[in-house]
Structure 1
Amino acid sequence: MDNSSFILIASLSFMVALTGAVSPGPLLTYTIARSAATPRRGYLVGVWVIAGHALVEMFIVLLLLAGFSSVLKNPAVVKATGLAGGTVLVWMGVSLIKECRADPLSGALAYEDGPGAAIRRGWLKSPAAGGAVVSMANPYWWVWWATIGAAFMTRFNISFENPCGLAAFFIGHEAGDLAWYLFVSTLSFWGIRNVNSRVYSWILGCCGGFMAGFGIYLGISPFV
């Protein structure tokens, strides 16, 4: 593969990933909440979230190369992932809402206590683990890879026999995700410095509400 083909695949993969990354969803919500809840170097949360996200995407790319795209599009699989993933997202959202309601006015930027402590110590303490779990809990992520992702790979002959193309595709895709989520985590971390604890609690509560609501939608939609 020549340099121009490598750059073309990487650039297109970057843009496709970026357009998907900017769409609101549970991973974006988790990144905002986790960045805001991190008192030190929260601007790097996006890097770790995408590290975990990239790990599971590497796994699903390998599945697609092994011919599993038809399995991922199977209605029974879509329903199962929707129900399981929706349940996980509802639990995560409710946990965050309960934490904010329990102690809405404590020191917002304290590490051990205050709104956001549920994220830090109760669930998904590691942003990398959070990036992986939240990604897999979203059934639309599976559907995206089984359709758009698989179509892209087919169009540009992404395979084990084309390692340079595979590298260009994966690097470009993860770079697109990283560009957006690093921006989001930086904005969330520095922005929270300028708000009081009540506003901070309200922001995290909204994130929890969105995550729970989206989880309900994901759990129900495959059956409707």
Structure 2
Amino acid sequence: MELAMIFSTAFVVGFSGAMMPGPLLTVTVGESARRGFVAGPLLVLGHGILELALILALAGGLSSFFKKTGVSHTVAVLGGAFLIYMGYGMARDAFYKRVSLAAAGPAGEGCGNPGGAGVEKEALKGAGGVRLHPVLAGVLTSVSNPYWTLWWATVGLGYITLSLRSGFAGLASFFTGHILADLVWYSLIAAAVAGGRKFLKEGVYRGVLVVCGVFLIGLGGYFLYFGLFT
């Protein structure tokens, strides 16, 4: 994959995942109402620190292992299958109106991702009920979500494997595109909440999710092709 392709596809995939209601989105809404716009970027900073550490751990010590043909193809097939599954579910739920921005209210009710209910409350409180800093909350909210672990064990690992074919530059392009997507989306959410207005209509939101879902299915097909026929 060329660097521009790695960056652009990582951005779209990351943006697709960020848009789905889940604990980090819920925390962003709640903290932005308390702290203002700055809560969004700070939460993404914590989220990004965790993901960068994971990427470096996977790519650093295991890069030679994942570059083996049999391993890289197996990971690509698993990641591709999960992308297709995730894309289909995203497009279907959006089309049938099973997902809504309203689900990501400060109370955290009805979050779409596994692990959403109640996670944000625990992530924001430490011992004695003291509220945590948004950066630390971003770390804990992410690592407490089973969906995050599943994504990195399949899609994320597949992307790392493919990115490593372009060396460190490929890996940097992947991470930059991925985390930039999170920063853009959660900053928009924080700005909207802090400004006290709804900036995105439900119909537009669902339409974007359908498009993203179709894109994920196509990218999953590419992963499968790479794993099975190259």
| 1:64 lines up with 2:58 in the alignment | yes
Map of 1:129-148 to 2, 5 A cutoff?
A: 129-148=136-155
Percent sequence identity over aligned pairs: 35
**Counterparts of 1:136 and 1:91, CA distance in 2:** 10
| 1:11 lines up with 2:8 in the alignment | yes
SS of 2:118's equivalent in the other structure is helix
Instruction: Sort the Cα spacing of 1:146 and 1:125 in 2 relative to 1 into closer, same or farther, 3 A.
Output: same
Q: Deviations for 1:164-221, whole angstroms, at most 9, x for unmatched residues? A: 11111111111011010000011111117xxxxxxxxxxxxxxxxxxxxxxxxxxxxx
Partner of residue 175, structure 2: 170
TM-score computed with the length of structure 2 as normaliser: 0.56
Shift of residue 156, structure 1, vs aligned partner: 3.2
**Counterparts of 1:17 and 1:56, CA distance in 2:** 15
Q: Deviations for 1:2-27, whole angstroms, at most 9, x for unmatched residues? A: xx932221111111100000001000
Shift of residue 123, structure 1, vs aligned partner: 4.2
Opposite residue 118 of structure 2, the aligned amino acid is: V
- Structure 2 residues not aligned, in runs of 5+: 72-77, 79-113, 198-230
Q: Deviations for 1:23-77, whole angstroms, at most 9, x for unmatched residues? A: 0100000010000112xxx11211111110000001111232234999xx9xxxx
**Counterparts of 1:137 and 1:60, CA distance in 2:** 14
Which among 179, 184, 196 is matched to residue 179 of structure 1?
A: 184
- Structure 1 residues not aligned, in runs of 5+: 74-84, 97-117, 193-224
TM-score computed with the length of structure 1 as normaliser: 0.57
Instruction: Sort the Cα spacing of 1:176 and 1:25 in 2 relative to 1 into closer, same or farther, 3 A.
Output: same
**Counterparts of 1:14 and 1:91, CA distance in 2:** 26
Aligned length: 148
> 1:64–1:146: 8 Å Cα contact kept in structure 2?
no
When Rg is computed on C-alpha atoms for both structures, the one with the higher figure is: 1
> 1:89–1:137: 8 Å Cα contact kept in structure 2?
no
Map of 1:93-132 to 2, 5 A cutoff?
A: 93=121, 122-132=129-139
**Counterparts of 1:136 and 1:27, CA distance in 2:** 10
**Counterparts of 1:91 and 1:16, CA distance in 2:** 23
> 2:24–2:120: 8 Å Cα contact kept in structure 1?
no
**Counterparts of 1:145 and 1:176, CA distance in 2:** 16
Which among 39, 44, 56 is matched to residue 38 of structure 2?
A: 44
Instruction: Sort the Cα spacing of 1:21 and 1:30 in 2 relative to 1 into closer, same or farther, 3 A.
Output: same
SS of 1:191's equivalent in the other structure is coil
| 1:54 lines up with 2:54 in the alignment | no
